[in-house]
Each structure stands twice: as C-alpha cells, then as structure tokens.
Amino acid sequence: MTNPKNKVDRYTPPDDYRKNLVRFIDDVRSKQAFPVLLTPLMRRRFDAEGKLVDTHGEYPDIVRSVAADSRTPLIDMHRKSAEILERYGPEHSRALFLQLKPAENPNYPDGIEDNTHFSPDGAQVMAELAVHGIREARLPLASSLKPPIKR
C-alpha cells in the first residue's frame, strides 16, 4: 500500500488535521451556525482471514477527540460503516463500492476496482447511516428529514 505521506496533494499531518477541525468549528460557530463532525467512512479492505482492516490510522480518533473537547455533535461514520462492511463481508461488500468490469460503464472502459468510492447503492447505504446518526444525535436537522425508506 502506498504511504499516504507521499501523496502531498492529499496528505495532512495529524496535528494540522486537528487544528483544521478546530478552526472549522470556530468558523462555523462564529457565523451562528451549528457544526457537526463526521468521522471518515471505512474503505473496503479485508485481510487474508476476511477481517476488515482500518486504513485511516489515527484520524478517526482525532475527530472523536475534537468533537468531545469542543462539545460538537459527532456522527461516527467510521464505526457505522465498519459495521456494515463487516456484515456484508469481503465478497458482498464489493457491491457497495465502485467495482466495474471492462465496458460495463462508459466512464470506465477498462473497468475499475475502487475500494474507497461508493457505487450508487453503497452511497445510499452510507447516506442512510448519516441520516440515522442525525436522528440518533437528536440534531435539530432531524425534524426536517423525510421518514426512513423501507427496504
């Protein structure tokens, strides 16, 4: 696996990540708005025994810590999405991600095996987790949400 520190266009050191979250919260509150933090979603990565492997390192815990320290509501998408991926397992979880065979989609003529970005069905599942988290946290936004979709 590529070291994320080598992706200088995307990598933020943990201390900077924490400072950015605190700044975002302060900026939102200064506008009399209501910040909510969400941890990152799990990527689809399983080990040889079929156990889900976390690829985010310390970043989800940083979000949790900043949320607790700043008394900002938190939706723990990291844990929620991990539960879903573990329930689906290594093979069935493929359906949640952008996994396309060659010629299946004109945007990906050679196909793609993307274990970070979601398929439309996977995006729907993750969005439902976020909505559940909004309701669970009893955020004011919850009263504006449509009732859950029956599946």
Q: What is the pLDDT of residues 125-145, one digit of tens each?
A: 999 999 999 999 999 999 999
Residue-level pLDDT at 107: 92
| 104 located within any domain | yes
CB of 50 closer than 8 Å to CB of 90: yes
Closest by CA position to 72, among listed 115, 116, 105, 27: 27
**Model confidence over 63-87: pLDDT tens digits?**
999 999 999 999 999 999 999 999 9
Can you tell me the distance from the alpha carbon of 138 to that of 130, in angstroms, rounded to the nearest whole number?
A: 12
The CATH number that applies at residue 71 is 3.40.50.1110
Mean pLDDT value across residues 108-121: 95
| 125 located within any domain | yes
Q: Which amino acid makes up residue 36? A: V
Number of domains making up the chain: 1
Position 147 confidence tier, pLDDT thresholds 50, 70, 90: confident
| 149 located within any domain | no
Residues in the chain: 151
Query: What percentage of the chain has pLDDT greater than the value 70?
Result: 93
Q: Which domain holds residue 95?
A: 4-144
pTM of the model: 0.87
| 150 located within any domain | no
| 60 located within any domain | yes
